[in-house]
Amino acid sequence: MTVFALVGSGEYLEPMEPVDRYLMGKLKQPPRVVCLPTAAGNEGEERIAYWSNLGIDHFTRLGATVETLPVIDRESADNEPFAERIAKANFVYLSGGRPTYLYDTLENTLVWRAILAVLEHGGILAGCSAGAMIMGEEFFSFNGIRSGFNFIPGAAIIPHFDEIPKARLEQICQHIQPGLTIFGIDGNTALIRSGNQYEVVGKGKVTVIREGEEICCTSGPLPLTIWP
């Protein structure tokens, strides 16, 4: 069963420990986690090291086998040894940064194919902030609307939903293609897809917006009525 986790914000921090424990509980084997700081790949060595070290510390506390790989540009995303190590994992985590950079770095690379192989073998892909945005059919960036990897067809993902000023949210929503369902995910909260089932896990809520109507969903399964 394919499992995706879309996280609003807070990756690798203490409030997210229950969420990641819940995700690891879905694995049939002991967790082997790979953390990828790719979305921050053009933000300098200090930020890359920050996300890498935070991920190692977090999943070590949770009892997982974990490593981080410096997949930070197209060259490293086509690094065969990196791809081979990712393919041996069963939990891949994409931390935050810039969604356009993340998508353009991973698209059609050996590392991306390795991530897909993890999913095909029953593993988990989690993405926080930028890592969540690229999983929808499209995502909003400073350069306009971009196509995503479409793991959640017919959807656009807005992370940090409880942190964005209302006026800014309205601007973002106006740019998203009419007819798409918007999932606004609060901080320290995940929208988890397991097969065809969706559920909210974490401290906040997921706001579902479709055709001008809003449904706020807290912990538990999403109601089937949100779908067209």
Integer CA distances (angstroms), 39 to 49, 63, 184, in order? 13, 25, 20
3-state secondary structure of 103: helix
Integer CA distances (angstroms), 25 to 46, 61, 146, 158, 206, in order? 32, 15, 33, 26, 22
Could you tell me if 155 and 138 are in contact, meaning their C-beta atoms sit under 8 angstroms apart? Answer: no
Domain count, the chain: 1
The upper half-sphere exposure of residue 191, i.e. CA atoms within 13 Å in the direction of its Cβ, equals 32
Distance CA 228, CA 60 (A): 41
State the angle between helix axes of 80-87 and 110-120 in degrees (0 to 180), rounded to the nearest 10.
10
Q: 10-residue block means of pLDDT along the chain (228 residues)?
A: 93 97 96 98 96 98 98 98 98 97 98 97 97 94 84 93 86 78 96 92 94 87 66
* CATH number for position 187: 3.40.50.880
Domain that holds residue 96: 3-226
Could you tell me if 206 and 184 are in contact, meaning their C-beta atoms sit under 8 angstroms apart? Answer: yes
Helix (H) or strand (E) holding 130: helix 130-133
| Residue 177, pLDDT score | 76
| Residue 175, pLDDT score | 74
| Residue 228, pLDDT score | 47
